[in-house]
Amino acid sequence: MRRRRGHTGRVIDEKKPSIEIEYCVQCRWLTRAAWMAQELLTTFERDLREVSLVPGTGGVFEVRLGGETIWSRKSDAAFTDAAELKRLIRDRIAPGRSLGHSDQPS
Looking at residue 14, what DSSP letter applies? T
Which pLDDT does position 1 carry in this prediction?
Answer: 45
Q: How far is CA 50 from CA 18, 58, 91, in A?
A: 5, 25, 18
Distance between CA atoms of residues 89 and 70, nearest Å: 8
Average pLDDT of span 2-12: 57
Q: Which pLDDT tens digit goes with each residue over 20-70?
A: 999 999 999 999 999 999 999 999 999 999 999 999 999 999 999 999 999
Which pLDDT does position 103 carry in this prediction?
Answer: 66
For residue 68, list its beta bridge partners. 65
Identify the band that residue 96 occupies on the pLDDT scale cut at 50, 70 and 90.
Answer: confident
Angle in degrees, CA 19, 8, 65, rounded to 5: 5
Given a contact cutoff of 8 angstroms between Cβ atoms, the answer to whether 17 and 65 are in contact is yes
For residue 64, list its beta bridge partners. 20, 69
